[in-house]
Amino acid sequence: MITLIETDRMEKGDFIWTENYNLRLQPTGARKVTEEVNRWFNRTMQYQGKEYAWHYIMLLKAPGTGALSGRQEEETGFRVSGVCG
């Protein structure tokens, strides 16, 4: 979403204000967001010495990540750079 706004691909007409003053996406805006998410998932990154698409790596990591939710005291092995030191 931020990429869409920074590159001026989102227009004022892509949003609508509801009666509760919530900001919602019009169908055109939702389509742009969906296309941007698909672009991100199809980008490649290096994983274990090979190039893979993000969506494939997420598919590989989903079962292990779900199993981590019950093990809060054990070392997870995840490190987010810049946040955890």
- Domain-embedded: residue 75: no
Q: How confident is the model at residue 85 (pLDDT cuts 50, 70, 90)?
A: very low
Taking residues 9-37, report their average pLDDT.
Answer: 85
pLDDT at 36: 86
The rounded distance, in Å, linking the Cα atoms of 78 and 65 is 10
The whole-model pTM stands at 0.54
- Domain-embedded: residue 31: yes
Structural domain total, the chain: 1
Least confident range from 25-39, 55-69, 70-84: namely: 70-84
Taking residues 32-48, report their average pLDDT.
Answer: 84
- Domain-embedded: residue 70: no
Q: How far, in whole angstroms, is CA 76 from its chain's centroid?
A: 21
- Domain-embedded: residue 81: no
Question: Domain residues for 53?
Answer: 2-61
